[in-house]
Copies of this chain bind each other. A is one copy, B any other.
Amino acid sequence: MMEDAARIEGLLQAMTLEDKVGQLAMIRADFDAAGSTLLAPKVADITAGRAGSVLDLRGASAILAAQKAAVEESRLKIPLLFTLDVLHGYRTIFPVPLGEAAAFDPDLWERTARAAAIEAAADGIALTYAPMLDVARDPRWGRIVESAGEDPVVTARFAEAKVKGFQTDDLARGDALAATAKHFAGYAAVNAGREYASADFSQRTVEEVYLPPFAASVNAGVAAIMPAFIELAGVPLTAHRALLTGVLRERLGFDGLLISDFFAVAELIKHGVAADTAEAAALALNAGVDIDMASGTYTDGLPEALARGLVRIETIDAAVRRVLALKLALGLFDKPYARGENALAPATVEAHRALAREAARKSIVLLQNNGVLPLSAQTGRLAVIGPLADAPGEMLGPWRAAGEASEAVSFLDGVKAAFPHTVIVYANGAHIPAALEAARSADAVLLCLGETANMSGEANSRARPVVPEAQRALAEAVFELGKPVIVTLTSGRPLVAPWLFEKADAVLAAWFLGSEAGNALGDILSGAVSPSGKLPLSWPFDVGQIPIYYGERPTGRPADPENHDTSKYIDAPNEPKFPFGHGIAYTTFDYGEPRASVETLRAGESVAVEVDIANVGGMAAEEIVYLFIRDPLASVTRPLLELKAFTKIKTLSGERVTARFDLTTDDFSFPDADAIRRIEPGEIEILTGPSADAALLTRCRVRVVTVD
């Protein structure tokens, strides 16, 4: 460490202003017919020390060549940092984050990040722009697919698992990636779900909802954080000194890199807070942003900003120190070519495929089932119908890194493999009569509906997050036949479709499941394993309910069907179609009452909560168990439910298993009226159960006694 510091200071001494600004500048790869490359002007930037990091350059050989230019041809020989969006796998594609969140499985989340890091590092990548930690409650927003859903605690656990999986305990390992927690903060709250629109919420919501996952990532040692593109209440996050420096650096002690989003520094001019490049650069740097991604604003603007007195050289130096520190930590100075040196072993790739199948299987959520599932191996004839049935490329979803459609398993292929004794007939559904023809002779229909990958992800906001209208005619015609119909919904968001849920015999949320989508679906349909995924967000009944989330705050007039003047719609239910945590298995679970290890506790003390869950159905299955709290009386209002912990238990048919949760009084703390997090004395209700559906929760109470 001392040695590192000395090395950094030595380099700083040797650097010109241009060298320093170069370390804060990230250049983007050029693109040609063959893919990404670096054309001569950018290579010249590298050898001249005008670039410290590179975005979107792919392939070990291209990265090696660029790194050699930096290390062997630049004056200071500072290695480059190669960065890419490795979100849910690199070559082996795992389920999209929203899907993988449905597994509620931190161990799995960590293992898939580890596998992605191994694959990406093998191609020379050293930093990924993941995990995304935007608590997301508006399915109109396309990037909800990259989120872990609506809950801050789930997202915090997701943050920890992903940071650990990408980074390991030693960033210098040749197979470790620096992680980037993004997008700080509140990007998911863009107005009316419209991409890049402004957001507006209270400081309380910053503290209660959007900050905790980032705090968890900092505690887990995340290497970098990216501010959101958007503005919050009049201040673009890229220029938000109070949140970036005040909260992240000073309060949370984050000493890693702050990397702007793509062109976000330049966009401060369009936001109307900077007159020119120099002002934009100064605003971002002074707010705490170390690296300007791709916009050239630091390169063009920081020297001028320095000349105008808008920034201090000490601020530039501090940012450079952080860049160099991460490069040192990643081992780039000592082994600049370590990443990308060794191709992946076939056994590794094979293991990652198995992991992808496991992850996809655990991500599938069985939304409803009237008994049609699991499907008998003796099914004579199965019609597989729909635009998403034989669409391996779509299974990869948005942000597929190096994933190839040719290496993905379609639902159709997966089902064929899972039902070797069944005649499978296929129709893509584009021609409805042909699809009906296929269905008419079948014993059951698997109808594969949903979104294509390009309807989800960045800049794919949908004012109508519904099952595409064109698919409705197909589905209605199929339902008319009266056959058992199993529907898969491929999507990056919950899809509003009341007409579908009314008629389908079974519906599975199949997200974008990744490379092994079809095989995972086969595992579930056949009953090889019981479905175990649960919804990481509320699934709306109607577009007009958005935003909808379980953790709403109390009203003075709770909905009462007998009383008109209570909190409800006159034309739709208050409740979502499926609540947070919903997801059914092929067996049934009975929940007991939770037991707390103590009745009262003082600030700083802990309590263990145990609850017995009995598998009273006919099949072994995993069950995700939730622990919520409710603080019924406090100095400020508290949400009706707050998730504090979750766990997954394995059960055999007939078995009773005890789930255990350990809480401390910190879990009962909340920001008071002045937004200072405190623990207040009083009763806390502890609720356990299979979802956020209040009717299914069992409960006990503890009392917090603080000592003055």
Contact = CB atoms under 8 A, between A and B. Distances in A.
A544 B204 contact: no
A245 interface: no
A6 B307 CA distance: 67
B202 A267 contact: no
A50 interface: no
Given A273-B635, A275-B633, A233 B202 contact: yes
Interface string A226-252: 000111111110000010000000000
Contacts of A191: 547, 552
Contacts of A236: 556, 637
Contacts of A636: 234-235, 273
A360 interface: no
A234 B556 CA distance: 12
A275 B683 CA distance: 12
A695 interface: no
A568 to B, nearest CB: 7
Copies of this chain in its oligomeric complex: 2
A566 interface: yes
Contact of A197 (B203, B242, B567): B567
A484 interface: no
Nearest to A266: B556
A707 interface: no
Contacts of A463: 542-545, 569, 571-572
A224 B569 CA distance: 30
Nearest to A556: B267
Chain A binding surface SS class: loop
Nearest to A276: B633
Contacts of A572: 462-464
A192 interface: yes
A157 interface: no
A567 B272 contact: no
A196 interface: yes
Given A202-B233, A233-B204, A556-B268, A273 B569 contact: no
Given A233-B205, A637-B234, A271 B554 contact: yes
A413 interface: no
Interface residues of A, number: 78
A120 B193 CA distance: 45
Contacts of A196: 555-557, 566-567
A546 B192 contact: yes
A232 to B, nearest CB: 8
A85 interface: no
Contacts of A633: 272-275
Nearest to A459: B565
Nearest to A204: B233
A552 B462 contact: no
Nearest to A456: B570
Given A198-B637, A464-B544, A270 B235 contact: no
Given A196-B567, A270-B557, A462-B572, 9 more contacts: A140-B544, A191-B547, A193-B544, A200-B201, A231-B553, A234-B637, A264-B556, A462-B544, A464-B542
11 contacts: A142-B570, A194-B567, A200-B202, A201-B201, A202-B232, A229-B557, A234-B673, A270-B557, A459-B564, A459-B568, A464-B542
The 7 A-B pairs with the shortest beta carbon distances in the complex, nearest first, are: A267-B556, A463-B544, A202-B233, A463-B572, A234-B636, A196-B567, A198-B553
